[in-house]
Structures are given as structure tokens and as C-alpha cells.
């Protein structure tokens, strides 16, 4: 870590939902841990301490991302642990969970062990591996789940692909209770629609693209919830995108089924109209470049009614966490026809601009669902909080700061976001991991720490 001197972060508006704190305060970091939160100016400095002024800024626990596609091993031209880490700290994330759709897949202890070692030496943030549910993520045979748990995975998922077999899903959920790990199923019933480009609806019809209906997602979530009911297993639903899914999860929670859920920043902020490539506007006339492949992802951007339902689900606690589904792709994966384009957009660096900037969701709620929510799902009490004794993972935010999203500002190796080459509101000014300052925007606070 680059900064080991004790640090006092002064005069910030400290928002720590884990303790119900929203007040101007000083935070003291020492030996990689949070030592305390003091009234402004109360902390006495020693000579070797650094002082960091956060006046008029927000100070919060580092964000936790449950859903990052690390692309390592096997697709390092899209992302690697170093560039993922650079993207993470720019977005305020100090812990990220790596999805197992790599080459080879994270379906055994040796592959997970190698990745963990690589991340420890190449990355500045905490990278927690997620293991595969089935061998090779092919859906036919369970991966060695106990072996993966012993290797340190924090969840199990075939993400990118659904577990289509209910029998396989039932078995995985049965084991999940013993392991204490969530089963994270990419809910997309390919028995209903195998090949699609975007959300089914008027925009798909207008553009002549193939649609997938909301029910392809909600049917599979309903199935998984019934399987969680009969097994008592632990289900986590990633990237919820439809109003029907929110309602099904809400009902399951009211029946005390062991289910949690996450939503992406882009599904909270953007709708299917963004596929036109006109920042959500509907063009009068379609041109040759009638769509933006950077608005293609799985699940797809949905309707305004769905977006509103997702925000409602976030507000009432149906949706526990915000997960970015950071999915880097090379230009060659996106500069092609919409049908040929790969699914996914980068998400770590734009989580704040999408949720707070575009969707105008309450900042405290966003911070809560990026800290307390994922922390509870991971069951790790040492992160996502500024309680004394917690890891000194701290961020300083200006929710009103405007920055330009381009190759010079992004840390990711990939640039596939519909916000590319535009101004974004909401910026992370500094990120500390284990008490070391890993990132500052434009030299913010450089004279102090």
C-alpha cells in the first residue's frame, strides 16, 4: 500500500449507513484500520500524521461490488486485475467480487488459487472470487462446491449463462445451506427465447431487432424461489431488471424465503430507448447508425415502468444491493452489428453517475446499497463500514462534480459504456484501501497526504 502514515480525514460529511451516521466528522485511519470517528477538530495530530481535508465533501466506506467480470484468466485484452483495480478505485470500490466466466472457468481450487494469488500481487483493491456452480459452466454436472468453498469463493454462479436444469439448481441450493454461500443464477430462460438482441417491445420492433420479454427473467426467478423454498437453500438474484421480478422477490421475502437480490446502476438509470444511441431520446428518423451497441447487455435495458419498479424495490428493501455487472469488452466486440455485438457494459466507474447523477436516487440509499447491502450478503463485517476496527477502506465523494468520461479518465482497459465521450455527474475524489491512498482525482488533496 502506498500510504502507511496515520491519516486524519477532516471535516467531511460522513455517511456510514452501517452505524446510522450522517454528520460532519473527522475519521482516523491507522495500521490499515479505522481507529475512530471524532467531532471535527477533536483529533490531536502527531508529527508523522497526514491530514486530509474533506470539507464540503462526502466521506463514506469503500463500495463493495458483488458483480465484476474480471476477464482474467483468459481474456486479459479486455481487463486484468491491475486495470480492474484502477477502474474500481476510480469508482469508489475497494472490494470487488470476480465472476467465474473466465477461461478456464473458476470451477476448481487450483484455478481459484491461481487467480487469488495473481489478484493479491497485481491489484490494490480486495478481489474476492466467485466459483462456478457447474463444471465448465456447462450446466450438466455440479462443480466441487466444498472444494471451492475451502478455496475461498464468496458465492457460486454460472453467470453469463443460466443454470437451465431445475435439477442442477435444486442440488446447488441444497448444498448452499451447508456451505453458507449464495447461489447466484443468471435468470434468463433460454427455453423461451434462445437468441435475442434487446428488450421485446416497440423499440425492438422499430429497429428490427429481436426482443426478449420480461417473462424470460421472471419465470426463472420464480422457479429458483420455489427451489429455494423446498431446499431451504440460499438464493441471490443478480441484475434484476423487470417489474415482475421485483414483485416475485418481494413476495418471497414476505414468506421468509432465503433470497437476496441486486440491481445494476444502468437498469436503475437507463431504459431501452438508450439503444437508439441518443441518450434516451427517440430519433425522428432512423439513420444508418441507428443504434448504440454499448447499450446492449444481458439482461437488456427495459421499459420506464420496469425502471421505476426497480427504484421502488431498492427503496423498500426488496433489492438488497447495487451490483455493477462491470463487463469490459474490446472495441472489436462492439464495433459491429447490434446482433453480433457482445453483451455488457463497463460499470465500476459509472455507478455513481448513473445512480446519483442520472437516476437522481438518494445518495444515502445508494451508499447503503453499495456497502451495507453487499456486506451482509458476503457476511464480512470488516468491510463496508467505518466502525472502529474495520478495514480502513474509505472514499471521498463529490456527488455534484462533473467529469468527462473518456480514455484519459477511465481506468478500465475497455471503454464500452453508453456514457462514453459525455459528461457525467458524481465523482469519487479519493479512495483509500487499508489506510493507503490509492486514488485521487486530479491530484485532489495531494498536498495533504
Total residues binding Zn ion (CB under 5 A) = 2
Tell the smallest beta-carbon distance from residue 290 to Zn ion (Å): 26
**Least Å distance between CB 206 and Zn ion?**
26
Looking at beta carbons only, is 17 or 100 nearer to Zn ion? Answer: 100
- Burial class of 447 by CB neighbour count within 10 A (0 to 12, 13 to 18, 19+): exposed
Please tell me whether residue 266 binds Zn ion under the rule CB under 5 A: no
Q: How far is the CB of 37 from Zn ion (least distance, A)?
A: 37
Q: Which helix (H) or strand (E) holds 315?
A: helix 304-315
Q: Where are the alpha helices (DSSP H) in 106-242?
A: 109-122, 145-150, 166-179, 202-207, 215-231
Report the candidate in 71, 69, 86, 77 with the shortest Cα–Cα distance to residue 122: 86
Query: What is the contact mask toward Zn ion in residues 122 to 161, using x (rule: CB under 5 A)?
Result: -------------------------------------x--
User: Among 78, 126, 186, 437, which residue interacts with Zn ion (rule: CB under 5 A)?
Assistant: 186
Per the listing, cell 484519459 goes with 408
Question: Distance between CA 441 and CA 410 in Å, rounded?
Answer: 11
Active site residue 331: no
Instruction: In angstroms, give the least distance from the CB of 220 to Zn ion.
Output: 11
Q: Which has the closest alpha carbon to 261: 156, 182, 175?
A: 182
> Nearer to Zn ion by C-beta: 90 or 186?
186
Q: Which stretch binds Zn ion (CB under 5 A): 24-32, 86-94, 180-188, 269-277?
A: 180-188
Of 91 and 238, CB closest to Zn ion: 238
CB-nearer residue toward Zn ion: 231 or 324: 324
| CB of 264 or CB of 431, closer to Zn ion | 264
Catalytic option among 124, 224, 325, 333:
325
CA separation for the pair 415, 325 (Å, rounded): 14
Binding segment for Zn ion (CB under 5 A), chosen from 42-50, 186-194, 342-350, 395-403, is 186-194
CB of 219 vs Zn ion, minimal distance in Å:
16
State how far the alpha carbon of 29 is from the alpha carbons of 35, 36, 437, in Å. Answer: 6, 7, 11
Report the C-alpha gap between 109 and 327 in whole angstroms: 24
Between 241 and 414, CB nearer to Zn ion: 241
Residue 311 Cα distances to 118, 243, 266, 371, angstroms: 37, 10, 12, 17
* Contact flag: residue 16 with Zn ion (CB under 5 A): no
The residues annotated as belonging to the active site are 325
Residues that bind Zn ion (CB under 5 A): 159, 186
Amino acid at each position: 500500500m502506498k500510504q502507511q502514515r496515520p491519516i486524519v480525514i477532516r471535516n467531511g460529511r460522513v455517511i456510514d449507513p452501517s452505524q446510522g451516521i450522517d454528520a460532519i466528522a473527522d475519521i482516523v485511519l491507522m495500521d490499515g484500520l479505522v481507529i475512530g470517528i471524532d467531532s471535527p477538530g477533536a483529533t490531536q495530530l502527531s508529527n508523522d500524521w497526514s491530514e486530509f481535508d474533506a470539507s464540503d465533501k462526502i466521506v463514506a466506506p469503500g463500495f463493495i461490488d458483488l458483480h465484476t467480470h474480471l476477464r482474467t484468466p483468459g481474456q486479459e485484452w479486455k481487463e486484468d486485475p491491475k486495470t480492474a483495480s484502477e477502474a474500481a478505485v476510480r469508482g469508489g470500490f475497494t472490494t470487488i467480487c470476480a465472476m467465474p466466466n473466465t477461461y478456464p472457468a473458476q470451477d476448481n481450487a487450483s484455478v481459484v488459487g491461481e487467480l487469488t494469488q495473481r489478484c493479491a500481487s497485481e491489484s490494490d483493491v480486495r478481489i474476492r472470487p466467485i466459483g462456478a456452480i457447474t463444471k465448465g459452466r456447462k450446466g450438466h454436472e455440479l462443480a466441487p462446491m466444498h472444494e471451492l468453498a475451502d478455496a475461498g469463493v464468496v458465492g457460486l454462479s454460472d453467470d453469463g449463462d443460466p443454470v437451465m436444469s431445475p435439477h442442477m439448481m435444486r442440488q446447488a441450493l441444497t448444498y448452499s445451506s451447508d456451505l453458507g454461500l449464495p447461489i447466484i443464477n443468471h435468470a434468463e430462460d433460454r427455453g423461451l427465447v434462445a437468441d435475442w438482441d434487446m428488450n421485446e417491445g416497440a423499440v425492438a420492433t422499430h429497429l428490427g431487432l429481436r426482443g426478449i420479454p420480461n417473462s424470460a427473467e421472471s419465470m426463472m426467478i420464480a422457479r429458483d424461489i420455489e427451489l429455494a423454498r423446498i431446499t431451504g437453500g440460499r438464493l441471490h438474484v443478480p441484475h434484476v431488471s423487470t417489474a415482475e421480478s421485483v414483485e416475485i422477490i418481494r413476495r418471497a421475502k414476505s414468506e421468509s424465503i432465503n433470497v437476496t437480490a441486486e440491481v445494476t446502476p444502468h437498469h436503475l438509470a437507463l431504459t431501452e430507448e438508450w439503444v437508439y444511441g441518443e441518450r434516451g431520446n427517440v430519433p425522428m428518423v432512423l439513420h444508418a447508425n441507428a443504434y448504440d451497441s454499448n447499450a446492449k447487455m444481458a439482461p437488456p435495458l427495459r421499459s420506464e415502468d420496469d425502471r421505476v419498479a426497480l427504484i421502488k424495490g431498492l427503496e423498500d428493501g426488496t433489492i438488497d444491493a447495487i451490483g455493477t455487472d462491470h463487463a469490459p469488452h474490446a472495441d472489436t466486440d462492439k464495433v459491429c452489428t447490434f446482433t453480433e455485438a457482445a453483451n455488457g457494459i463497463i460499470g465500476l466507474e459509472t455507478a455513481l453517475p448513473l445512480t446519483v447523477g442520472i437516476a437522481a436516487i438518494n445518495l444515502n440509499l445508494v451508499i447503503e446499497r453499495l456497502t451495507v447491502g453487499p456486506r451482509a450478503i458476503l457476511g464480512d463485517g470488516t468491510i463496508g463500514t467505518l466502525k472502529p476496527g474495520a478495514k480502513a477502506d474509505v472514499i471521498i465523494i463529490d456527488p455534484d462534480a462533473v467529469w468527462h468520461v473518456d480514455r484519459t479518465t477511465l481506468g478500465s482497459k475497455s471503454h464500452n459504456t453508453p456514457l462514453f465521450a459525455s459528461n457525467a455527474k458524481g465523482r469519487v475524489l479519493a479512495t483509500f484501501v487499508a489506510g493507503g491512498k490509492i486514488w485521487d482525482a486530479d491530484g485532489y488533496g495531494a498536498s495533504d497526504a
